[in-house]
Each structure stands twice: as C-alpha cells, then as structure tokens.
C-alpha cells in the first residue's frame, strides 16, 4: 500500500519518468473458525463486561422514571439513591436542558452518571454518580453502592470565526451566518459609539468577527465574549479588539490604535436590537434634513426603551408643546441632549443619569405623526447634527507597556480576521 502511494506521488511529480514496477502476490490461507457454540459463548461473556454510553438532556418535567426511560437505564437501586439524595435530585430533576450522560452494563444497570450545568460565565459544575459495588452485589442499602462527587471546573473556550454581508438587516445577516444572538448584541454594543446602526447601515456593509464558544466536557454550553470585530460600513473599516491588560480584572474594547471604544456619548439613544432593527430612519415629511428639523427621528414601536447617550443631569422631564413628553439631559461642556414624544418617563428633573441609563419609552405625544423618538443634540442651546455626537468625546488611550502588549495582539488579530479594508480609526476626531 505504502509502495503504491509512493509510486503515485512519484508519477505525479515527474510525468515523463518510467512507471515503477509493481509486483503483486496472491496469498491463500485456510481459516479454521471455532464452532458456533464457542463463538456464542464468547459474545455472551463479552456482553457481561459490555459498557454502553448514552446521553440525554434533562426536562423540567422529569421524574427518575421518565429520565431513566429515555436513557435506557433499568436500575431500582440507582433510582432509589437519586430519590433519597437531595443534592442530586434537586439538580437532576425539575431542571431543563442539562446534559446528562450515563454508562450502563449489558443489563442496563447504572455504572456511572454525569450531570453538568453552567455555574458562572466561566465555570460549570460536574456532578458524578459512580457505582462502587458490582451490580450483582447483595447490598440492600443503595447508599453503600453509589458515591456522589461534585466539582466546579473551568469552561473550555474555543475561538470561532464568522463573516457576513448585510442584505436586509444586521440580524438577518447574523442569522444567515449562524452567529448567536448574544454575540450579535455584543457587536452592536461594542460599536455603539462608532456606528449608528439605525441610520447608517447599508446593503453591502460587511463584517468579520471572532468570538468565544464555551463547552463543558465536550458539551456546548453557550457563547462568551466577542473577542474582536471588523465592521466595514460605507467602505470604512471600524475595528474593535477586546484587550485586558496584565493584572486587570476586566478588559475593554479598543480600536487598533489603542483608543478605547467607550466614549462619552453613544451614537444613538435606542439600543440596536432585533425589534428596532426593522425600523428605517424617518425624515419629517416636509423637512428632509436634521438642520431644518433640528433633530433625528427614530421610528420604533411604542414602549421601546430610550437611553441617555451620556452621563449627565436631567434638566427637564415633563410636557412641552410640540415635543410632547420630553427629557432634557445636561452633560458637561454646555452640551445637552433632548428626547421627545415619549410615552413614559423613567427619570425626574434634577436626577443624575449614567450613560445608557433608561430615561423613558418611545411614544407619540405632542406633534407626532406616529410613534417615534425625536432626538436633538445642542451645544450652548445651539442645534448640532446629532450624528456627530459620538465623536464629541475623548477616549481612554493605552500607553507604555500596555500599548506594547496591545500592539502585539492587534497584529495577530489583523491576521486572524484577514483584514483588507482601510481603517476608520484615522477618521476619529476629537473636540476638546
């Protein structure tokens, strides 16, 4: 076999060379099979030591009987042990979607049972029930037969790569690329100060991302952090990489220049979600620009949460002609944001608010032709283009040893995502 393969390789590498000589031998041997009785006997003996493995997931309606039935376990001793053990019963029964694996012998007697569930973002619990005595033993009390052991272990992380192009909406693209929702939400969140997904997303925009997939003992246990992304919108590449400095407990997202993507302001007062993504930006029927209109309108269903784009103090939370139920938030440097036509207020005048805090819900109070949020940005009470708001702030910038470590990771990251687009990092300008 090896010789033949070698010959084939040779033939490919030098077509004009003479064909190698292949010699074939025919071999005949008379086999003497053992009698049927002996064969049967050996199969039966093997069966005694046979171990079978079966896997299932728990259901919230499970009883010991229903679970054993699905797992093909037929073991009264094991059943009574589980019923009597509070710790095991509580974690195995009445919980849904927990992976459970069993090992049984040829008689379907339980040899071991493994149950896992996630304990935190990075750990899972493994509960193992192991049979100590052989199933044939005469033990009456199942407590002496089984031993229960519980341990908390770190989830195993693998990195996944995904890439997609936008045809209709961001979520249609992430669905098509089988990117989990939790990762899609992180993508929108990470670029929340860079890209106003409600307004600027176009067909043909594309993105590439790296994210963590978590598993426990080989079982998929969900997804972790978005590790990095490149989002090419209108030909400009926005990049984000998760970076945690040595000794730091938490990391942040940075562009590849080492500037934090967390800014003083978010790009939009509505979180980009599956619900809001279907709503196109609307212009006032007559006044087609923000200048004439003095703001940006975001169409969204009544009740959609409205968030302040930056930290500040609520100046007004009340009814005004035209604007309806309106919230004014004063930020530093005489900057103010205005949120109008609200249905409900979630803040009061005088209250301090953090960036991203819920301040009200979308409505159609005042002069509104349909449910939408009217959003304004003012500096010293002069109207400014709200789409420039996210750039009005200075980010955290890495330096020294952290920057050196960051640069090394950034190089690897660019290779991993196979980046080709021109960077949008240079476009970031700061007002100070």
Of 6 and 322, nearer to Zn ion (C-beta) is 322
Residues in 94-133 at the binding interface with Zn ion, rule: CB under 5 A: none
Q: Three-class SS of residue 426?
A: helix
CB of 302 to Zn ion, least distance (A): 16
Angle at 308 between CA 349 and CA 355, to 5 degrees: 110
CB of 323 to Zn ion, least distance (A): 9
Site string for Zn ion, 292-311 (x = CB under 5 A): ---x-x--------------
Residues in 239-298 at the binding interface with Zn ion, rule: CB under 5 A: 295, 297
Site string for Zn ion, 323-362 (x = CB under 5 A): ----------------------------------------
CB of 162 to Zn ion, least distance (A): 36
Residue nearest to Zn ion (CB): 374
Of 212 and 297, nearer to Zn ion (C-beta) is 297
Give yes or no for residue 198 binding Zn ion (CB under 5 A).
no
CB of 279 to Zn ion, least distance (A): 14
* Partner residues linked to 126 by β-bridges: 116, 151
Pairwise CA distance, residues 289 & 295, whole Å: 8
Structure tokens at 69: 């039935």
In 254-344, where does DSSP find H-type helix?
274-277, 290-293
Residues in 41-60 at the binding interface with Zn ion, rule: CB under 5 A: none
Residues in 370-389 at the binding interface with Zn ion, rule: CB under 5 A: 374
Instruction: Choose the binding region for Zn ion from 186-194, 342-350, 367-375, 380-388 (rule: CB under 5 A).
Output: 367-375
- Taken as a whole, the chain contains a residue count of 432
- Nearest of 238, 257, 251, 250 to residue 188 by alpha carbon: 238
Size of residue set near Zn ion by CB under 5 A: 3
Pairwise CA distance, residues 86 & 371, whole Å: 53
Instruction: Report yes or no: 147 and 133 within 8 Å, Cβ to Cβ.
Output: no
- Whole-Å CA distances, 178 to 120, 121, 241, 242: 24, 21, 21, 22
User: Binding residues for Zn ion, per CB under 5 A?
Assistant: 295, 297, 374
């Amino acid at each position: 076999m090896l010789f033949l393969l070698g010959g084939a390789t040779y033939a490919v590498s030098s077509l004009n060379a003479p064909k190698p000589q292949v010699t074939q031998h025919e071999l005949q041997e008379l086999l003497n099979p053992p009698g049927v009785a002996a064969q049967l006997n050996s199969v039966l003996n093997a069966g005694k030591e046979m171990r079978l493995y079966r896997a299932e997931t728990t259901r919230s309606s499970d009883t010991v009987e229903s679970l054993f039935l699905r797992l093909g376990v037929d073991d009264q001793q094991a059943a009574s042990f589980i019923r009597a053990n509070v710790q095991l019963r509580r974690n195995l029964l009445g919980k849904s979607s927990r992976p459970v694996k069993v090992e049984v012998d040829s008689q379907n007697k339980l040899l071991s049972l493994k149950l896992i569930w996630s304990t935190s973002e990075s750990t899972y619990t493994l509960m193992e029930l192991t049979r100590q005595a052989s199933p044939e033993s005469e033990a009456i009390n199942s407590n002496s037969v089984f031993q229960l052991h519980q341990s908390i272990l770190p989830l195993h992380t693998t990195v996944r790569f995904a890439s997609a192009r936008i045809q209709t909406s961001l979520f249609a693209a992430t669905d098509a690329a089988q990117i989990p929702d939790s990762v899609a939400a992180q993508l929108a969140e990470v670029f929340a100060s860079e890209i106003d997904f409600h307004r600027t997303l176009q067909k043909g925009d594309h993105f590439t991302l790296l994210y963590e997939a978590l598993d426990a003992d080989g079982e998929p246990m969900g997804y972790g952090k978005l590790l990095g992304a490149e989002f090419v919108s209108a030909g400009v590449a926005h990049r984000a990489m998760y970076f945690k400095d040595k000794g730091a407990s938490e990391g942040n997202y940075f562009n590849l220049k080492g500037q934090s993507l967390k800014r003083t302001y978010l790009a939009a007062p509505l979180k980009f979600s599956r619900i809001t993504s279907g709503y196109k930006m609307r212009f006032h029927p007559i006044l087609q620009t923000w200048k004439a209109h003095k703001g940006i309108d975001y169409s969204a269903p009544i009740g959609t949460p409205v968030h302040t784009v930056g930290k500040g103090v609520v100046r007004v939370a009340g009814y005004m002609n035209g604007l309806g139920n309106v919230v004014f938030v004063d930020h530093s440097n005489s900057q103010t944001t205005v949120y109008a036509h609200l249905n409900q207020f979630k803040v009061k005048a005088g209250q301090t608010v953090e960036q991203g805090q819920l301040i009200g819900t979308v409505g159609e109070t005042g002069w509104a032709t349909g449910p939408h949020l009217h959003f304004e940005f003012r500096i010293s009470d002069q109207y400014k283009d709200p789409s420039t708001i996210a750039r009005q702030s200075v980010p955290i910038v890495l330096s020294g040893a952290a920057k050196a470590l960051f640069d090394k990771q950034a190089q690897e990251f660019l290779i991993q995502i196979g980046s080709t687009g021109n960077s949008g990092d240079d476009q970031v300008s700061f007002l100070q």
